[in-house]
A and B are shown apart, each in its own frame.
Chain A
Amino acid sequence: MPIPILQGTLDLMILRTLATMGPQHAYGIASRLQQVSEEALNLNQGSIYPALVRIEQHGWTRGSWGRTENNREAKYYTITRAGFKALNEETQRWRQMAAVVEKLLTEEP
């Protein structure tokens, strides 16, 4: 049973993908997410679009049109300096959050 995406985590995952893989198009990002999650995520490829426009409007990525190796046109997203900063902050926040939740879950009553 695939798990739904936790609210607000998609932005972080996309930023992280772009930071590690360099400029990517929407298809590349979506495929990467599915691959990493080993199909555990309930993710239509189309459902990353709102997140893409959101982070672009925040100024965390910049989009530009380019060509793939197979000479197909595609819109490539590049993470910006502000994007790296946001990624750092979001990562921190996620870790803290996850740690708190984990601690609560493992703590003896």
Chain B
Amino acid sequence: MAHWRRIVAKLRSLLANKRAEDDLAREIASHLTLLADEFERGGMSPEEAQLAARRAFGGVEQAKQAHRDERSPLWVEQAIQDLRYGLRTLCKSPGFTITALLTLALGIGACTAIFSLVNAVLIRSLPYGDPGRLVYLYTPNRQFKLPDEVFGPAYRDFYDLKRDSHSFQNMTAFGQSVFSLASPGAAERASVARVDGEFFRTFQSTPELGREISSDDNQLGHENVAVISHALWQSMFGSTADILHRSLLLDGKNYQIVGVMPQGFEYPHSTDLAYGESQYKTTQVWVPLALTPQQTVDRDNSSANAVARLNPGVSIARAQAEMATIMARLDKLHQMKGWGGLVENFVDSTIGQVRSLLWLLLGAVSIVLMIASGNAANLLLARAAGRVRELGVRVALGAGRSRIVRQLITEALLIGLAAGTIGVAFAYLFLRVLPRLNPGNIPRLNEASLDMRVLLFTIAVSLLTSALTGVFPALAVSRINLTDFLASAGSRSVAGAHTRVQSALIVVESALVVVLLASAGLLIRSYMNVESVDTGFSQSTVTVNIGLDPRYGHPQAVGFFRNLFLRLQALPGVETVGAVSSLPLSNSEDLRMFVVDGYPNQNTQLAEVRWMTPNYFSAMRIPLIAGRLFTADEKPGAHTIIINQSFARKYFAGRNPIGGRVSRQDDPTRWNTVVGVVGDVRHTSLEEPAEPQIYEPDMEFEGGYITIRSSLPAKSLAANVRAILHSLDPNLAAGDIQTMGDLESEASARRRFQTSLLSVFAAIALFLALVGLYGLMAYTVSRRTNEVGIRMALGAQRSDVVLLVVKKAAFLLALGLVSGLVATWFVTRAIQAFLFGIGRHDPTTILSVCGLLAVSGVIAAMIPARRAAFIDPMQALRAE
């Protein structure tokens, strides 16, 4: 208690230092007077008495200093002196200060911005209770050579697992559907999660209003209840208080609203499930799963998504072992064998895919920060060299070396912290721009903000930067040799040592720049490769997703679309209108096991299947390679199919595919005849080659994607389409109207994001390194004015002088390039996974990087070199 009180008193005395000093002087004076009075009373003369008083008192200055030391913490007092002195010297050279500040602020700002991303995406905990105990459950069948995450458990397996396992506290099964959600005056498509009674409990999330969906709601006949998201409550119901008395119209059916989830709970997001609905970013409505008795006993359709919460203390490995044991038993009950169990960490699945990207970006900004620190250190060094006289005099007058080092580090700290403050402002601006850069498939990217953790990070980074920046000048200065200094009358005894450190810093900086430039170059080349991928379809085709609700029976739906096609076809400028069950790059497709006549079939052959109207290929400009396309009078009973080139290449190698026969594995005698082969289309992603594909004619189209090729601009066509849809059925829910180009651009958004960020960082790094090189050369020239003057007086040409400077710059650059290339050789392993269609040692990229650095480096060195060349020898010599 008394202890902290004393600390407070000490600190307070710092603030009131002057008053305490005055008080002390006055007290000692009075003390001396009283002593002297006493001696005078003893019979001394006033002069004698004063001397005696001083003798009795002891050293006045010593007493004062002892008082001071006792009164206030010593280091704080000195630090305040250093701070004052530092501020004063920094303000005296504003050019230096501003350059150093902005350099560091740029580095710290970039670091802070990227860290705020890392924080939002990777560090901040997911809002699901203790998310570390959540797991996804899969029942993969490796025979299909498909990713394990495709195989959610069949419901029967799910319930058997739930009954027999002991690893899990909760298990929930849920599905996703797209419903048409009627709102006043219009209808929209909404992603709806169909959940069992344990869904919300598993996620440990409770509604902010009302109740969650219970097991009772999942009894057939009770399933018309819904829980809605906070966002939907706001947007559709204006946050009305009587929301629990309202209802929703989903696909024409009435659902009583029983609960509203709090903000932040919108699971599943489009980024959560690798093979889920990806068109809708968040889930807005949850309704009961309400399985039919047939679904409950179905063991063959791997259809559910399953999430479980581990019991406390149970590891994933233990749960995995238990699940594998149970699945080994259940596998025997399946018609087809080979089903296993897989437990995957929920958090890793959610953010695992972007983890490496974010670490890559953080690595890149750290390099930028290191270069910025190097530059600031160089500036400080250059300035310290200019201050040799001042510092030398201080050492000569008895200032401790440690005190001078501390002084320099204090200056670096001042610059570092100020730069940190500006850096936070930079980061704030960056976060304002971020939503525009958001590629849409990085979970929680838009939640990035400057929270406490980010600010602490920035402070730490600023301190670290200051230390990095301050340590070199401090070391150099502490080596000032007093005798040399005095002997040389204080001119440049330490300059040599200085420039060696500075040159080393420049070499390191250029090496780092090479690494960044090469990485950015490789990513840019990869992006260009992705952009030039032949997708197999036309980018200008306009598409819209339309699903009819249950008001329409089959004949009405078919009639609706026939009518729609006619109306669209009649629009001026429209060339072709087609339709397909699922578009390329829309993340949805059907897979089918099949048998090819005359081929050594395996029972795990899979192909993608799409149903389309005859005009689809023409609307998408997918080229016919062989045979014919479907025609308008394709007979449904004729069982005609069209395949893509990949299919033909793999299953009809060396044969004519036209007339070849393909059947379903579960119906092997009903043969479909191949009538045509069309070009490959990148269906899954831009970066994966086309898979074997089967197209079947759909003469009674009743829902899916409409594709329109026209000469109209996409915008006006979209308006026309919307008007037609509205006139046909004002309550119809249509999805976004997009061109295939939009879809393609969405598919490459993540790559664009990482490429542009890394390129910007590389550009900043290059710029900083060039500034550093320029600074060092300019400094060298100014230090060597005298020498240059002598050389010129002795007959050196201007070109010789230019060469002298540029040669040194070129030497440093070359050293940097070589070490940078060595580093690049190893470091690019980290970005291997981000490359597409290019090796990580691609010589063209590496050579361009070297060329770029060499040329820009020499240009940066030319400016001070030319200045050196125009030194007037007479003036230079007189200046000494």
Q: Is the CB of A73 within 8 A of B59?
A: no
Cβ-defined contact, B69 with A50, below 8 A: yes
Who on chain B is nearest to A54 by CB? Answer: B70
A50 touching B2 by the CB < 8 A rule? no
List of A residues within 8 angstroms of B24 by Cβ: 49
Contact A26 to B2, CB < 8 A, known contacts A44-B58, A46-B60: no
Report 6 cross-chain contacts, Cβ distance below 8 Å, ordered by A residue: A44-B58, A45-B58, A46-B57, A57-B13, A58-B5, A73-B26
Please encode chain A, from 46 to 86, with 1 for each CB lying within 8 Å of some chain B CB and 0 for all others: 11011111101111100000001010111100000010001
Q: Contact at B60–A58, with CB atoms within 8 Å?
A: no
- Tell me if B30 and A57 are in contact (CB < 8 A): no
By a beta-carbon cutoff of 8 Å, the part of chain A in contact with chain B is: 25-28, 30-31, 44-47, 49-54, 56-60, 68, 70, 72-75, 82, 86
Q: Is B56 an interface residue (CB 8 A)?
A: yes
Q: Which of B9-28 contact A (CB under 8 A)?
A: 9-10, 13, 23-24, 26-28
Whether A45 and B10, one on each chain, are in contact in the complex, defined by CB atoms closer than 8 angstroms, is no
A57 adjacent to B37 (CB under 8 Å) = no
Residues of B within 8 A of A45 (CB): 31, 35, 56-58
Q: In angstroms, how far is the closest chain A Cβ from the Cβ of B143?
A: 81
- Measured CB to CB, the nearest residue on chain A to B6 is A57
B57 touches A74 (CB 8 A): no
Q: A57-B10, A59-B2, A82-B2 known; A46 and B59 CB under 8 Å?
A: yes
Q: Are A27 and B31 in contact (CB under 8 A)?
A: yes
Q: Pick from A26, A45, A50, A56 the residue with the most CB of B within 10 Å.
A: A45
In the assembled complex, the Cα of A57 lies from the Cα of B4 at a distance in Å of 10
With A44-B58, A46-B59, A46-B62 in contact, is A68–B67 under 8 Å at CB? no
The answer to whether A59 and B5 touch across the interface, beta carbons within 8 angstroms, is yes
Q: Give B198 Cβ to nearest chain A Cβ, in Å.
A: 62
CB–CB B33/A47 < 8 A: no
Decide if A57 touches B71 in the complex (CB within 8 Å): yes
Asked if A49 contacts B66 (CB within 8 A), the reply is: yes
**What's the minimum C-beta distance from B64 to chain A, rounded to whole angstroms?**
8
Q: Which one, A27, A52, A86, contacts B34 given CB within 8 A?
A: A27
> How many angstroms between the C-alpha atoms of A44 and B32 in the bound complex?
12
Give the residues from 669 to 691 in chain B that come closer than 8 angstroms, CB to CB, to chain A.
none
Q: Which residues of B contact A31 (CB under 8 A)?
A: 38
Contacts of A25 in B (CB 8 A): 30-31, 34
CA distance A57 to B9 in the complex (A): 6
User: Is B58 in contact with A57, judged by CB distance below 8 angstroms?
Assistant: no
Report chain A residues within 8 Å CB of B13.
57
Mostly helix, strand, loop or mixed at chain B's interface?
Answer: helix
B63 within 8 A of A: yes
Q: Contact residues of B with A, CB < 8 Å?
A: 2, 5-6, 9-10, 13, 23-24, 26-28, 30-31, 33-35, 37-38, 56-60, 62-64, 66-67, 69-71
A interface, over-half SS: helix
Given contacts A27-B34, A53-B67, contact A46 B6 (CB under 8 A): no
In the assembled complex, the Cα of A94 lies from the Cα of B67 at a distance in Å of: 25
| Residues A46 and B2 in contact, CB atoms below 8 Å apart | no
How many pairs of A and B residues are in contact by the CB < 8 Å rule?
Answer: 84
Please name the residue on chain B nearest to A57 by beta carbon. B9
Apart from A27-B35, A44-B63, A75-B30, list 18 A-B contacts with CB within 8 A.
A26-B27, A44-B56, A46-B28, A46-B62, A49-B63, A49-B66, A50-B66, A54-B6, A54-B70, A57-B13, A58-B2, A58-B5, A59-B9, A74-B27, A74-B30, A74-B31, A75-B27, A86-B2
Residues of A within 8 A of B28 (CB): 46, 49
For residue B26, which residues in chain A have a CB less than 8 angstroms away from its CB? 73, 75
- Residues from chain B with a CB closer than 8 A to the CB of A59 are 2, 5, 9
Residues in A with CB closer than 8 Å to B9 are: 56-59
Which chain A residues border B64 with CB–CB below 8 Å?
A: 49
Cα distance, A82 to B6, chains bound together (Å): 13
User: By the criterion CB–CB under 8 Å, are B58 and A74 in contact?
Assistant: no
Give CA–CA (A23, B481) in the complex, Å: 56
A46 to B62, CA, bound (A): 8
Q: Which of A46, A73, A82 has the most CB of B within 10 A?
A: A46
A49 touches B67 (CB 8 A): yes
Which residues of chain B are within 8 angstroms of A70 by Cβ–Cβ distance? 37
Looking across the interface, which residue of chain A has its beta carbon closest to that of B10? Answer: A57
Known: A45-B57, A57-B5. A50 touches B30 (CB 8 A): no
How many Å lie between the Cα of A7 and that of B27 in the bound state?
24
* Chain B contacts for A50, CB-based, 8 A: 66-67, 69-70
A46, B30: Cβ atoms under 8 Å? Answer: no
**A34 nearest CB neighbor, chain B only:** B56
B35 close to A72 (CB less than 8 A): no
Q: Is the CB of A53 within 8 A of B5?
A: no
Listed from nearest, the 5 A-B pairs whose CB atoms lie closest are A44-B58, A46-B63, A57-B9, A50-B70, A46-B58
User: What's the minimum C-beta distance from A64 to chain B, rounded to whole angstroms?
Assistant: 11
Chain B neighbourhood of A30, CB < 8 A: 31
B56 with A53: CB separation less than 8 A? no
Minimum distance in angstroms from A55 CB to a CB of chain B:
10
B38 contact set on A, CB distance < 8 A: 31
Chain A: which residue is nearest B12 at the CB level? A57
Bound CA–CA A82/B5 (angstroms): 12
**What is the CA–CA distance of A99 and B624 in the complex, to the nearest angstrom?**
110
| CB-defined contacts of B23 to chain A, threshold 8 Å | 75
Q: Give chain A nearest CB distance to B28 CB in angstroms.
A: 7
Q: How many angstroms from the CA of A45 to the CA of B35 in the assembled complex? A: 9
Complex: A28 Cα to B37 Cα, angstroms: 13
Closest B residue to A51 by beta carbon equals B70
Q: Which residues of B contact A82 (CB under 8 A)?
A: 2
Give Cα A25–Cα B34 distance, bound, in whole angstroms.
Answer: 10
B-side contacts of A56, CB under 8 Å: 9
Give which listed residue, B2, B6, B10, B34, contacts A72 with CB less than 8 A: B34
The residue in A30, A53, A72 that gathers the most chain B C-beta atoms within 10 A of its C-beta is A53
Minimum C-beta distance from A24 to chain B (A):
11
Q: Which residues of A contact B56 (CB under 8 A)?
A: 44-45
Bound-complex Cα distance A68 to B60 (A): 22
Contacts of A60 in B (CB 8 A): 2
Cβ–Cβ < 8 Å partners of B70 in chain A:
49-51, 53-54
A41, chain B: closest CB distance, angstroms: 13
Output the nearest chain A residue to B70 by Cβ-Cβ distance: A50
Among A27, A50, A68, the one with the most B-chain Cβ atoms within 10 Å of its Cβ is: A27
Is there an interface contact between A47 and B63, defined as CB atoms closer than 8 Å? yes
Interface residue from B6, B57, B69, B71 paired with A44 (Cβ < 8 Å): B57
Q: Do B57 and A73 have beta carbons less than 8 Å apart?
A: no
* B57 contacts across to A, CB distance below 8 A: 44-46
* Inter-chain contacts of A75 with B (CB < 8 A): 23, 26-27, 30
Minimal Cβ-Cβ distance residue in A for B71: A53
Say whether B66 contacts A47, CB under 8 Å. yes
Q: Could you tell me the distance between the alpha carbons of A47 and B64 in the complex, rounded to whole angstroms?
A: 9
Q: How far is the CA of A56 from the CA of B66 in the complex (A)?
A: 15
Residues on B with beta carbons closer than 8 Å to the beta carbon of A53: 67, 70-71
Residues of A within 8 A of B6 (CB): 54, 57-58
